[in-house]
Amino acid sequence: MINCKCRLLALMENSWYSKSISDELKSLHSDENGLTQEEAKVRIEKYGLNKLPDAKLDSLRL
């Protein structure tokens, strides 16, 4: 039980909501002005577009 509490506390300490804005921006390699066009292009090439996959439609045939 104690181990679970320690792990939960460790996760909370590393969560974005417990950090200062400046610390979180540093961890994202960004700043208050956002990404440059060049950096955005590099990240899109590396990680892909920030897009959710299209929803799968289940249809019922009558």
How high is the pLDDT of residue 7? 63
Residue 61 domain-assigned (yes or no): no
Confidence of residue 5 (pLDDT cuts 50, 70, 90): low
Specify whether the CB–CB gap between 49 and 43 falls below 8 A: no
Q: How many structural domains comprise the chain? A: 1
Does the model's pTM come out above 0.85?
Answer: no
Give the pLDDT of residue 41. 95
Measured CA to CA, the distance from residue 43 to residue 32 in angstroms comes to 18
Quick check: is 23 in a domain?
yes
pLDDT, residue 38, reads 94
Confirm whether 53 is domain-assigned: no
Q: Is residue 7 part of a domain?
A: yes
In tens, the pLDDT along 7-51 reads: 666 656 667 778 888 988 888 888 899 889 999 999 999 999 988
Task: Give a yes or no: residue 14 inside a domain.
Answer: yes
Domain that holds residue 19: 2-47
Closest CA to 16 of 4, 7, 28, 5: 28
Does any domain span residue 52? no
In this structure, is the dihedral angle defined by the CA atoms of residues 39, 36, 28 and 41, taken in order, positive or negative?
Answer: negative
